């Protein structure tokens, strides 16, 4: 356990904000060195669009079990000054400790404990917090044909994640026409008013019964107080539990039409992550639950969440996927980010036992 704590310290104290390519590259070097020490082999560097991902492949045969994690975080450089790494009263704190650097250390130690690693691939990406724009194809390629993908994202208060909503990202751009707001407002086409119509129409696309949410978020419009706005734009966050719902929302978004005469609308974007449907995790959850009881651990709990992860990609291509196998704690992306130290070793043992069984049955 002391070694695991020190390993977590090593990763947490190397800051790795997703939008800083140099910081992510430096973090990849630290992760690669630590992984090499624990696993006895160096990873392959996969750099795509300047973003650094790491891949360990064990054995000469095909991939059988894919372990997925990420080393980038949402915390900007300098966060350690206000949120230092600390372990006190059984709680570990530090930027990115929960999401998800503790999970990476758990992966290293769990794989190192395997009696036979042949068929295991460990993939650690560097852009998950951005939506995995450069690593999606890599994740899907590594997951193809595997009996299981095990995602080391943090748990939800100890519960494994059996379902994640699919995510769609949009930008709506509106073009109007400027005019003087006092002298000739009637000559303008007010982009702010058109944006208001569209925001209301888009927010109505959500469906509480199915869990679909469509949320207009950041909005920008206008130039000065006395000018009819000639342009406006806003962002939209869409979440859906099923592919059918995700496609329904996308069709509606792409079909938006202006309300004001002479206003123009452009919709950019679409589905980013497919839904991670519960059916892709049920069997693995039952297997992990049985193993946990055999290890003398408390019964595992399951939960459905609105947030997405790289597990959406593995499940989306049809690979059985179990998510939330990482740290137990809370406060992801927040000042209270923390990990419960006493849960690290049992969860790591569970991961080792689950991989061992998956490799044996494959």
Output the tens digit of pLDDT for each of the chain's 362 residues: 999 999 999 999 999 999 999 999 999 999 999 999 999 999 999 999 999 999 999 998 888 999 999 999 999 999 999 999 999 999 999 999 999 999 999 999 999 999 999 999 999 999 999 999 999 999 999 999 999 999 999 998 899 999 999 999 999 999 999 999 999 999 999 999 999 999 999 999 999 999 999 999 999 999 999 999 999 999 999 999 999 999 999 999 999 999 999 999 999 999 999 999 999 999 999 999 999 999 999 999 999 998 899 999 999 999 999 999 999 999 988 999 999 999 999 999 999 999 999 999 85
CB 70 within 8 A of CB 124: yes
Domain map of the chain by residue range?
Answer: 2-165+276-361, 166-273
pTM (2 d.p.):
0.89
Report which DSSP code applies to 73.
B
What's the CATH number for 166-273? 3.30.70.360
Residue 128 burial class via C-beta count within 10 angstroms: exposed 0-12, middle 13-18, buried 19 and up = buried
Give buried/exposed letters for 4-21 (b at 16+ CB in 10 A, else e).
bbebbbbbbebbbbbeeb
The matching CATH number, chosen from 3.40.50.300, 3.40.630.10, 3.50.50.60, 3.30.1330.180, for 2-165+276-361 is 3.40.630.10
Residue 2 annotated in active site: no
The residues pairing with 150 across neighbouring beta strands, listed in sequence order, are 67, 322
Give per-residue pLDDT as tens, 303-353. 999 889 999 999 999 999 999 999 999 998 899 999 999 999 999 999 999
pLDDT at 212: 97
pLDDT at 145: 93
Spatial distance between the Cα atoms of 202 and 252, rounded to a whole number of angstroms: 8
Run of H or E residues at 197: helix 191-203
Residue 128 annotated in active site: yes
Spatial distance between the Cα atoms of 281 and 222, rounded to a whole number of angstroms: 47
Find all residues with CB under 8 Å of 274, minimum gap 6, and list them. Answer: 166, 243, 246, 312, 313, 315, 316
Active-site residue, from 72, 163, 277, 310: 72
Active-site residue, from 15, 128, 142, 163: 128
């Amino acid at each position: 356990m002391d070694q695991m704590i020190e390993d977590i310290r090593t990763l947490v104290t190397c800051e790795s904000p997703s939008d800083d390519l140099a910081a992510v590259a430096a973090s990849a070097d630290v992760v690669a060195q630590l992984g090499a020490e624990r696993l006895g082999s160096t990873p392959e560097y996969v750099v795509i669009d300047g973003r650094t991902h790491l891949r360990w492949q064990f054995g000469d045969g095909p991939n059988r079990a894919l372990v997925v994690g990420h080393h980038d975080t949402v915390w900007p450089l300098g966060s350690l000054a206000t949120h230092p790494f600390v372990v006190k009263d059984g709680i570990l704190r530090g930027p990115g400790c929960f999401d998800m650097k503790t999970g990476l250390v758990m992966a290293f130690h769990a794989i190192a404990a395997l009696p036979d690693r042949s068929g295991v691939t460990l993939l650690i990406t560097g852009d998950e917090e951005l939506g995995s724009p450069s690593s999606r194809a890599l994740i899907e390629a590594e997951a193809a044909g595997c009996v299981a993908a095990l995602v080391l994202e943090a748990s939800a208060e100890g519960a494994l994640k059996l379902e994640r909503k699919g995510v769609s990202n949009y930008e709506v751009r509106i073009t109007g026409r400027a005019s003087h707001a006092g002298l000739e407002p009637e000559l303008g086409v007010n982009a702010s008013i058109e944006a208001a119509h569209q925001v209301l129409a888009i927010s109505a696309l959500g469906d509480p019964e199915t869990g679909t949410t469509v949320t207009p978020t950041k909005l920008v419009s206008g130039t000065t107080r006395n000018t009819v706005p000639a342009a406006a734009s806003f962002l939209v966050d869409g979440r859906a539990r099923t592919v059918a719902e995700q496609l329904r929302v996308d069709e509606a978004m792409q079909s938006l039409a202006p309300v004001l005469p002479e206003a123009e609308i452009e919709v950019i974007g679409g589905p980013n992550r497919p839904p991670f449907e519960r059916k892709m995790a049920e069997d693995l959850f039952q297997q992990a639950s049985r193993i946990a009881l055999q290890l003398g651990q408390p019964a595992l709990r399951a939960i459905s969440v609105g947030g997405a992860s790289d597990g959406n990609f593995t499940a989306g291509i049809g690979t059985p996927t179990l998510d939330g196998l990482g740290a137990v704690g809370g406060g992801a992306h927040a000042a209270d980010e923390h990990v419960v130290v006493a849960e690290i070793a049992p969860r790591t043992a569970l991961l080792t036992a689950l991989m061992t069984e998956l490799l044996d049955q494959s």
